[in-house]
A = this chain, B = another copy of it.
Amino acid sequence: MLYQHQIDDIFSEAIGGNGLSQRAFERELEQALPAQAGIKSRHEDGSLPLLRLPAARDDLAALKPHVERLRQFAHVVILGTGGSSLGGQTLAALNDIGFGPAQGAPKLWFMDNVDPATFAELLTRLDLAKTAFVPISKSGGTAETLTQLFVVLEALEAKLGKGKVADHLLTITEPKDNALRKIAQRVGGAILDHDPGVGGRFSVLSLVGLLPAMIAGLDAAAIREGAASVLDPLLAAGEETATAPTTGAALSVALWRERGAGTTVLMPYVDRLAYFGLWFRQLWAESLGKNGYGTTPIRAMGTVDQHSQLQLYLDGPADKLFTLVIRDTAGEGTKIRRAALDGDDSLTYLADRSLGDLLLAEANATAATLARNGRPTRTLRIEHLDERVMGALLMHFMLETIIAADLLRVDAFDQPAVEEGKVLTRKYLAGQK
């Protein structure tokens, strides 16, 4: 396994009255095992295409020429929001945590909003002659993405002339006659098909996540291998054997049912997992937030949120499940020389310690402090973070989410409530005319 799933400090035996009783957990697990078996059959009958992605390789080969073309640009701008953006951002952060892209890779920009002030910056700061744009919308009708694209096309035409625009464009959308596809066909750029059977928030292992990842210089096959390392054991598991995602779903739902834990905090102690937390937030919220159900996901960052949220987590309402992702950073980074402390006794604890030592000590101390204060806490431990481990973490949480939805008897794959706001937006826009 590429990660360890430690759940002891979820239980009341270890942390007291706010913890989960073994009985409630087992009751939930009994329901989760058929849900796990359901994933197995959906893999077999092909009704959930995302389950076939970990083993696929042909599509990656087909992506390669597009990746090579886009890597010639200085900037690649992804136009898209939600599931069209978060998977790519999550993966790209493996190679760029804010200090710029890996050598030879373009800078990736994820434009997931329609703030005109931000767009004005984009259009004046980037040299459009050296910039490619990748609009992504599964339905092809996302108002934000279409509006972004119209603005970009206008700017590209003004700068480069109409004939050149197609070279700067790669469009991803469903193979249907939708608005985005029609625009792309008119402009003339390349178009790639978004799998109609893979919803946005589950699309990270498809070209939606992997194209940006490959542009960033990552090994897409390794990401899928990592995903397979979590999926395959689940597919091979007997009817009575819960794998880690199944256990995770059961404990999360049981804790909500038994103790009213309405919030689930994902707190990686790994800077490169900052977007992973945002990706999880969408996955969990949109998949489960239905019929009055669904715990509220929160992305926290260790150690940063020890200085922002920990007071609340420890001494506020006991309504949260904590999931800490901890990387073994022991010994990493420059060690503080004892001489540098200049005999300051208050700092002796730092002598011969490095940033990595401190990060790991803080992570472990926070996990222990949460448990000591009776807060249900689990840890996902990883030795390092690379494409394979990232793939494993992504698959863990996709499976956990699907099984949790089954336990709550909601459809993990729709999002019916947001339609009303979209209709109203159009009405308001029409009224503005």
Contacts and interface: CB of A to CB of B under 8 A. Distances in A.
Interface string A414-433: 01111011101111111011
A67 to B, nearest CB: 24
A361 B144 CA distance: 11
Contacts of A270: 115, 117
A95 to B, nearest CB: 10
Contacts of A182: 342, 344
Contacts of A364: 428
Nearest to A112: B304
A366 interface: yes
A308 interface: yes
Contact of A340 (B150, B278, B421): B150
Contact of A424 (B116, B332, B360, B365): B365
A320 B361 CA distance: 34
A348 to B, nearest CB: 8
A180 B361 CA distance: 21
Contacts of A122: 99
Interface string A95-119: 0011110000000010011111111
Given A289-B312, A311-B415, A355 B263 contact: no
A262 interface: yes
A359 interface: yes
23 contacts: A98-B109, A99-B122, A99-B126, A113-B301, A114-B359, A116-B332, A142-B307, A143-B350, A144-B362, A146-B347, A146-B350, A148-B355, A151-B334, A153-B340, A155-B334, A179-B344, A289-B311, A296-B317, A311-B415, A311-B416, A357-B432, A365-B422, A368-B421
Contacts of A119: 333, 355
A309 B281 contact: yes
A373 B290 CA distance: 13
A50 to B, nearest CB: 18
Interface stretch (A23-31, A34-42, A79-87, A238-246): A79-87
A353 interface: yes
Contact of A433 (B150, B293, B342, B352): B352
B432 A330 contact: yes
Contact of A432 (B97, B112, B320, B353): B353
Interface of A: 81-83, 86, 97-100, 109, 112-122, 125-126, 141-144, 146-148, 150-151, 153-155, 179, 182-183, 186, 200, 262-263, 269-272, 278, 281-282, 285-286, 288-294, 296, 298, 301, 303-304, 306-320, 329-330, 332-334, 336-337, 340, 342, 344, 346-347, 349-362, 364-366, 368-369, 372-373, 385, 415-418, 420-422, 424-430, 432-433
A286 B262 contact: no
Contacts of A115: 269-272, 329, 355, 359
B289 A141 contact: no
A340 B151 CA distance: 10
B114 A262 contact: no
Contacts of A330: 432
A314 to B, nearest CB: 4
A113 B271 contact: yes
Nearest to A320: B296
B354 A116 contact: yes
Nearest to A147: B358
